Structure 1
Amino acid sequence: MQLPKGATVAVADGEKFNLFRNTGDEAELKLAPLDHGPVNADHQGSTPGRHGSSANPDGGQDKEDGFSAGVVELLNKKVLAGEISALLIIAAPRTLGAIRPQYHARLSAVLVGEIAKDLTGHALHDVEKAIAAT
């Protein structure tokens, strides 16, 4: 995938979130880390999917869902503030499925692609390699 210069890359799973900017150009990808501030993970029960109860006590999944909702909230705010003009989202498949329904229309408009892969714990080179291979 060729990623425009200045494009933002969000890499997320249910527990971690990293944000990068392409400081290279379309021919030569070069990602630089971006500060994104804290993710508001207090969205318990606000995302589609499994939720804990006495019949299904999966509180860990609720925490991941809350974190995922916080990630998409942060991305939506950045897009609406004009801080993101092109966005690639790389997320664990379950996380991607949870956040898609929460994309703001303007986020969808600047979305240049999605990669359903968990790369949050990987080196920056691995993220760049995954983008280039798409």
Structure 2
Amino acid sequence: MKCPHMAHVAIVDGARFVVMRNKGQAFEPKLEKVSNPELEATNFSAGIRHQDDGGQRHGRTDLNELAHGAAAAQWLNEQVLAGKIDDLVVIADPKTLGEMRRHYHKELEQKLVGELAKELANEPADVIEKAIAAH
């Protein structure tokens, strides 16, 4: 995946949110941590469609995790609208990424240069860099 020089990379799962920046080249990313934004997960309506009996019985639906994904998308929306993010790559586990997509602002969608549906929130930067370069 092409990750432009100085692009922001948001790595998200149901509990963590890390923002990094590509200090390397487009096809050879070198990520540097920018921040760990503190989020207030308030959008618990995010998981309404996941309220199936099977998912609840087997613990596959966690409304806190989905609300965290919605909050991460809202934070990214705010940064894009404030002109603080020009190019963005989002990396999140499939369920979180799906929830985040529901909350993307149109402006964020225009700044989005790539998405990776993979669980990498707890991985070191070099593993994330390789995953970006491989896709």
User: What TM-score do the two structures reach when normalised by structure 1?
Assistant: 0.89
CA RMSD of aligned residues (A): 2.1
Contact 2:28 2:133 in 1 (8 A): no
Indicate the structure with greater helix content. 2
Query: Distance between the aligned counterparts of 1:20 and 1:49, measured in 2?
Result: 31
Instruction: Kindly state the Cα deviation for residue 40 of structure 1 after the two structures are TM-superposed.
Output: 1.7
Cα separation, partners in 2 of 1:69 and 1:27, compared to 1, 3 Å:
closer
Instruction: Kindly state the Cα deviation for residue 25 of structure 1 after the two structures are TM-superposed.
Output: 2.1
More deviation in 106-115 or 40-49?
A: 40-49
- Give unpaired runs (5+ residues) of structure 2: none
User: Aligned residue for 2:3?
Assistant: 3
User: Aligned residue for 1:90?
Assistant: 91
- Give unpaired runs (5+ residues) of structure 1: none
Query: Distance between the aligned counterparts of 1:78 and 1:5, measured in 2?
Result: 18
Segments of 4+ in structure 1 off by > 3 A? Answer: 46-49
Aligned length, in residue pairs:
132
Q: Secondary structure at the match of 2:2?
A: coil
Percentage of pairs with the same residue? 37
User: Aligned residue for 1:20?
Assistant: 20
Query: Distance between the aligned counterparts of 1:120 and 1:8, measured in 2?
Result: 15
User: What TM-score do the two structures reach when normalised by structure 2?
Assistant: 0.88
Instruction: Kindly state the Cα deviation for residue 48 of structure 1 after the two structures are TM-superposed.
Output: 5.3
User: Aligned residue for 1:31?
Assistant: 31
More deviation in 36-45 or 84-93?
A: 36-45
Cα separation, partners in 2 of 1:76 and 1:36, compared to 1, 3 Å:
farther
2:112 is equivalent to residue 111 of structure 1: yes
Contact 2:27 2:133 in 1 (8 A): no
